[in-house]
Structure 1
Amino acid sequence: MPRSVELDNLFARKQEAFARKQAAFQKYVDAKNRANEAHDRMQSAWDQRVAAREEMNREFESMQQSKDSRDAIWADFNRVCQENSSRIDQLRQEADLEHEMMKNCFDSASAAYSYGNKADAPMYSSEGHAHKERRDYLNAEVGRLIQEINNAKASAKWQTSGSHGNSFQSAKSNFNNAKMLHESAEAEFKNAKAERDAYKAEFDSAQAEFERLKNECQRKLNEIKANNQKERDHILDKAGVSYLNRQDAKIVKKADGTTQVYHGGLGSGDGLFHGHVALDQSGNKTYSRDAFEKHGSQNYTDRKTGERKSNGGWTELSTGTIIDEAGNGHNVMFRQGLGKNEGQTLIRDYHGFESFKNFHKNGGHNHYGDNNKELYPNEPDRIEDSSKHKNDKTYTGPGC
């Protein structure tokens, strides 16, 4: 059947709506991603604000507590200082003694190696190293105790110098900065969310329009298929084709307004041993042959106009449309056999520009029909299966 201009327009509008929908969806996705990123920044800023507030509260409490603990802090420092100083003096004396003993041992080892019994040198050296390790340990302990005094003094100064007030002010300043950053991030998120919601509404509108046009296309397509099927059924009713043979029946509409119906063939409606009905422009039956019946003028409703040349021939080159079982049309050029050629068909696809010359050049058409077994006893029963025509490719429609 001819293409529907209305359906083509609907499909074009549907494709345009689909493109708009996809573009709107991409804008929505991008805006959604921006909103998510803004939300993450806002949440991070909130976490920093909470942490800064907690730090400010801790500094405030510490500042309040320090006012009551000055004496206790310095008393604790003096205790550490006194205890460690007494211990430091004792350790230094022990370290000095170990140092002297180390020197003596190393001197004895050197003398034994140079002037005395060399076998004693390792013993003195080992004892010297032992005193050295003990001296180093004692000196390290002295250093640790001194560092402990210094640490205690620094801690006491820090706790009693009023630095907690400065720390609190610093923490308060940090909190105010964090609060300002959070409020800025919150405003950014609200703007991004509003943009996202606007693009979402645009996408929903485009999606609704696309669905409407898709449904309209489907409705129109169903309507066309129903009309095509109705017309097909009407033609088959006129042709008197039985319901058993209707599914595979082939309908060819010629440019002169006549209609050819092929039915009941093996494998397809126009297959081997098919039936053939011809209808004129008014839908009147002019030729009718059932499947498996013999070809001949006896099948014409008007015997006089149905005479054929006894030596064979072909009808004029015509164009038409083959309607398949789905109701779709396939445009063709064709000639039908006369006389001895009756039952044969020459056919090719028609795109609107093929000519008589295109049709009759070598390989310019497909050839269908029963073979003359007397002339070609070694060829298949059907011409389209013969060695000469089995590779014909110019017809690609139903039943090819």
Structure 2
Amino acid sequence: MMWKHLECLLALQCFICLVRPAFVDEKALPEPCDLSLTWINEFQIKLSWNLSKDLDPSCRVSYEIKKPETMVTHKSFVELYVFLVDAVTYTVQTKPEECSDRTISKPVNITVTKPTELVKNFNCSLYTSTAMNCSWLIASQAPEDLLLYYKYAGENDIEQCSDYLYTAGQRTGCHLRGNISEQKMYFQVNGTVNCLSVRNTFLVEPLKNIKPQAPKVKITKESRSLSLSWAPPDFKDRFNCWNYTLRYSKCQETQCKNISKKTNENIPYDPRCQYRFQVKAVYSDKCGTGQSDWSEEEIYGAEDSLIIVIAIIVPASLFLFVILFLCCLMKYRETIFPKIPQPSVILKGMLNNSKEQTAFKRNLYIPVEENVEHKISLEIVPPLPIMQPDS
């Protein structure tokens, strides 16, 4: 009995699975027709479609576009910016607003194929509010006629780079000038590959990546401390986005200190020590990325006299010692390193009785002949007779 109930449940489930798609299809709105894509300019496309003939005129609908972000419109077209690095697929669906018991339609897709890669690692860094550098690496299929175009968001004018940066004769960057800090920018690198025009497009938000000029540190002595101050990077409304790293040495001992959202700091002062200061501006993570180079080193206080003396006397003494050692070595080198007779020469001379034997013998050490005392004997000589004169 139990098995029969199970069989009935399974049969009912199969029937639901078969009937449900048809029921859902009846509830779904008809999808858009004739979806197409056309280019408006170097950076924008236009997606357009037609209303389905099966759509009930009394049904109020909108259209949902995914790219992959989602947007909704009541029109039968939409204009979008395209950034071609990889393939992009756009999906359009009919969405009910005032349509009883109707559900969203099936998706209709259209794809912009992935272009040939012309450049890699496209990156732009803002240096000041009016200057920015963009750079890239050349891809393997990049042609020699690469050109860079750009436009500001909200403007129609498209401009070409007028100040290219070169590496090994190829264009690998562009220096831009103008009021660019407060806008989004659209870039396109294009060239000709196999007789076909190829484009790579990019979106850049300049204020998201900043590399400002290094700060300049000012030092003032106040009582028992040194007061440090510097100017923040020159970007409007970005004062709270900057943190700073202070690196300083005191009596040759280096220390680092992180400073948040202020442009001054006090350091206890020891008159016996010399101080060296450097500051670096760091862009806050909540605002973007980037940092400056280290500032020029600022020095305060006289250098320790003992260190100067040691730095001068020790190398000078070592140099003098080396000179004296070399002089002594040259003077007494024969005594310190005497010549050692070569056994091979001796043996050759003994066997061949050559001239080398004679020359060698001359060079052999001959001991100095010692003075030997001879035995001396004394004899007593009788005195000679004294002759008497005749009387």
* TM-score category of the 2 structures, normalised to the smaller one: under 0.3
Q: Which structure is richer in relative contact order (CA contacts within 8 A, separation 6 or more)?
A: 1
Larger radius of gyration, structure 1 or 2?
1
Structure with the largest fraction of strand: 2
Structure with the largest fraction of helix: 1
TM-score by length of 1: 0.20
